Structure 1
Amino acid sequence: MSETAQTRTPLLQALDEIVGTLRSFIRSPRAMWGVNVPYFLEGIAYFGVLTLLMKYLSENVALGDITAGVVVSFFTGGITFAMFFLGEMGDRFGLRRVLLASILLMGVGRIFITFAGYLPGGSLFSPAFLMTATSLLIVVIGFGMFQPVLFSAVKQFSTRETSAMAFAVVYGLNNLGAFVAGLLSPKVRGIASSAFPPNGINGVFALYTVLTLASVAITGAILTRATVRAALAARPETAAREEAARGENRPRVFSCRWFAEHPLRDPRFAYFIFILIPVQTLFAHNWLTLPLYINRAFVPWVADRFELFSNLGPLLVFLLAPLVAALTAKRDPLDMMVWGTLVMAAPTFLLVLGPSPAALITFIVLMTVGESMWQPRFYHYLTELAPPGKTGAYVGIGQLPWFLTKFLTGMYAGWFLQRFCPAEGVRHSEQMWLIYALIAMVSPVALLLTRSWLRGGTARS
């Protein structure tokens, strides 16, 4: 082989990996799109509501920044907490049935927040907040079943060759939905401001409600019973193991056997998922801090489009996650998560330079590259660890630290905004982001220091 051919080999190998992985994924069963489409549509609705929720609660319902932050943390944390108990619903009652029921439940829940804007607010006991809280509670239950059953379906419908790409695509499509929400929201707010005073936010919620209810019909049409049977028939050994496990006698929650078989009894697994909490705070700041930070600290042409700028990252994730997955499908998942968390956390120091569109966009781009490196592999890693019949349960358990992240971050995010980036008065957002950057860096540093020990527990995966 010539020297020129040898120097081109890494590039050609990368291209071969991309083409080969994409070809395998395209040949995946139709049932995969019965998973991809609802996750994309839910990305629009869920992140669309979440981007506006702090502003809606703080200003429309008149709760103020601190109380609004606490409420949002209970909502997002509650979703993850619900997964801990409801994650196994798909394992128990079947993928299609639970997936459709969970989407329907979220659609019904969003009806309440749409009409809450017509009621008086001002306190936690006001009619507007009580109806909003009812809406959020119903969505918590629905989403607590939705995401675990969806990832369980991805595992069962994909093969070993296509699983990395399958998880990257479904994760990317969900993020594309978040970006689409950022495009739609400013325009819909302007159109709906007269029908949904004072700022049209409830009009945006109405759009997401209709979209969620439509998702039930669309998903049901794509993911028919015959489609599910055909997808499982393509992997008869996996389907047989899952069916056999579903028929086993399961321990009751909080029973002695339940504790004895709990994955958190594995110290490496427990350490691994909990040490990701510091870097995951950056995800929580995407809706707790970033929208109001952009809306308050930046020049008008940026501030007036805070939804769009807050959701630039998801568009990049949609573009990057499948590409990164194809290039790194054969790389060790632990290495990808170590370096991915570092690439995600470090750019936060750019925001310490002060409000600057260039610094903001650079931060979003670099943070997204890091997210694309490790986050899809994290879900993939969880499902690979799970024994047959327990995929949904493992995904739910793996979300427990995420619950703590969202809950704890919400406890202080509103105070930091009021202290360092208030709606009125002098702002010192640089100090706020310095603290947040130092917190995020704990994860990659800790993973680097304990990588050898963690690798000792991954042989089974």
Structure 2
Amino acid sequence: MAFSQRLHEIRTGFSSNFWIANTLELFERMAFYGAKAVLVVFLADRVGLHEEAGTLAGIFSGLIFSLPIVAGVLVDRYGFKKTLMACFFIFCIGYFLIGLAGMQFGEPIVSVIGKKAYALSVLILTAIGGSLIKPCIVGTVAKTTKPEAKGLGFSVYYTMANIGGAVGPIVALQVREDWGIEYVLIMSSLTSFMLFLGAWFFYREPVDHNNEVVEKRTLGKVFADMLLVFANFRFMIFLVIFSGIWIMFWQIFYLIPFYAPKVLNFTAFEWFETVDAACIIFLTVPMAALVKEWKPITAMTLGFIFASFAWILIGAVPTVWATVAGIALYALGEATQAPRFYEYVSNLAPKGQTGTYMGFAFLPVAIGSFSAGAVSDWLRLNYLDTNPALMWYIVAGIGFTSTTLMILYNLYLAPKPQES
């Protein structure tokens, strides 16, 4: 009965624009995670920025996950279609310019500007374009999904994003081996151009099925909301603590690409980068059902413990299959905490400010990325050649420290039930 009801919701609950938007999301995530899969190696080995490759990659991802707070203003002002097309256009130019740094005919341009200045500027440009995608796609899902199918609609969106995240590194591997690492960025650029055409010809400005009246945001309103959130000391402490799980996550993209060929003698490092997204697709729903009766803070703490032990396994057993198992264990931790995190954030929000607080739910991902890039450079330069196991134990230590801080936060700082 439940399965037939789900099929009925899929047939009747979504408009054609919903499926177009989610298809665009799938291929955009494929292009993003394909580029992300090789970015640190490309910057270090192909461009020559060996000492700061992780830091630059961290800035790129950090901006992509922090700027959507402001990017939503552009959606309100210019509409979904124009903003989405602008995203893909900037992505197209940005990925190409990143790839240009590794090509022979791009060397004169890079040498005039300087390798680090050139890489930083084109990464920031690309991140600005990337920040526009989430408000557009998430907003389209919300507007084009009937109320009774909204939960299923966001599940479809989340699944599409993870399929793209799982496929992207595999495609990147084939392109890197057949053409060269710089052509992975060119592939992402061409994919973005095709997405630009797809949005132009097939995507339509969404019509709100729910007839909701939503306040138009301005930059002034956004910054006022930011001050409102930053003034909530307990909430900001929680977000900073929670960023620990994302500092660990980004090491899959910042440290594994160097660790796999050097220590494991496994050059196809992109396979490791697809494990987390593939596991998340299958683990999120059963883990959400398993811990649905638990307190959110309990589920999140358990998720942190799983994620932290993952790196102990990778450090203690330096083999390909142990590394796969470790990343899968991290994914189990991510799947355990992720659904309850958003529930907890919504519960922390003062009355009437839920929307404002939920807008900052991606902030730990951004904080984690900014921090993880610099951490990965330090670990790689100091321990990869001399003591790679210790490198992973330090990553695990970050996780266990965050777990301890989460427990202390719950004991002494978290709002009590009567305050929530």
- Counterpart in 2 of 1:140? 127
SS in 1 for 2:52: helix
Using a 3 Å threshold, how does the CA distance of structure 1 residues 442 and 138 change in structure 2: closer, same or farther?
same
Which structure has the larger Rg?
A: 1
- Counterpart in 1 of 2:86? 101
The Cα shift of 1:40 comes to 1.3
Question: Would you say the 8 A contact 2:280–2:331 is kept in 1?
Answer: yes
Q: Using the alignment, how far apart are the partners of 1:344 and 1:156 within structure 2?
A: 35
Question: Would you say the 8 A contact 1:279–1:441 is kept in 2?
Answer: no
The Cα offsets for residues 223-259 of structure 1, whole Å up to 9 and x where unpaired, read as: 313xx21xx13x12xx22x1xx12x7773565xx556
Q: How many residues align?
A: 415
Q: Using the alignment, how far apart are the partners of 1:174 and 1:215 within structure 2?
A: 15
- Counterpart in 2 of 1:280? 246
The Cα shift of 1:321 comes to 2.9
- Counterpart in 1 of 2:308? 345
Question: Would you say the 8 A contact 1:62–1:121 is kept in 2?
Answer: no
Question: Would you say the 8 A contact 1:60–1:121 is kept in 2?
Answer: no
- Counterpart in 2 of 1:210? 190
The Cα offsets for residues 347-406 of structure 1, whole Å up to 9 and x where unpaired, read as: 221123141123212111111122123335545766786999995x65553333333322
SS in 2 for 1:454: coil
- Counterpart in 1 of 2:165? 178
Correspondences of 1:386-397 after superposition (within 5 Å): 391=355, 394=357, 397=360
Q: Using the alignment, how far apart are the partners of 1:249 and 1:185 within structure 2?
A: 39
Q: Using the alignment, how far apart are the partners of 1:293 and 1:162 within structure 2?
A: 44
Residue 377 of structure 2 is aligned to residue 414 of structure 1:
yes
The Cα offsets for residues 253-284 of structure 1, whole Å up to 9 and x where unpaired, read as: 65xx5566x22333443233221121211122
Using a 3 Å threshold, how does the CA distance of structure 1 residues 99 and 190 change in structure 2: closer, same or farther?
same
Correspondences of 1:246-395 after superposition (within 5 Å): 246=216, 251=220, 262-299=228-265, 303-325=266-288, 333-378=296-341, 391=355, 394=357
Of residues 404-413 and 361-370 in structure 1, the stretch that sits farther from structure 2 once superposed is: 404-413
- Counterpart in 2 of 1:196? none
Q: Considering only aligned residues, what root-mean-square deviation do their CA atoms show, in Å?
A: 3.5
Question: Would you say the 8 A contact 1:345–1:441 is kept in 2?
Answer: yes
- Pick aligned residue for 1:83 from 65, 68, 75: 68
Residue 31 of structure 2 is aligned to residue 68 of structure 1:
no
Counterpart code for 1:114: G
Question: Would you say the 8 A contact 2:27–2:164 is kept in 1?
Answer: yes
Counterpart code for 2:194: A
Query: Structure 2 length normalisation: TM-score?
Result: 0.84
Q: Structure 1: any 5+ residue segments left out of the alignment?
A: 1-15, 193-199
Using a 3 Å threshold, how does the CA distance of structure 1 residues 157 and 202 change in structure 2: closer, same or farther?
same
SS in 2 for 1:120: helix
Counterpart code for 2:193: L
The Cα offsets for residues 140-185 of structure 1, whole Å up to 9 and x where unpaired, read as: 1112222234334334444666444443432332222122122222
Q: Structure 2: any 5+ residue segments left out of the alignment?
A: none
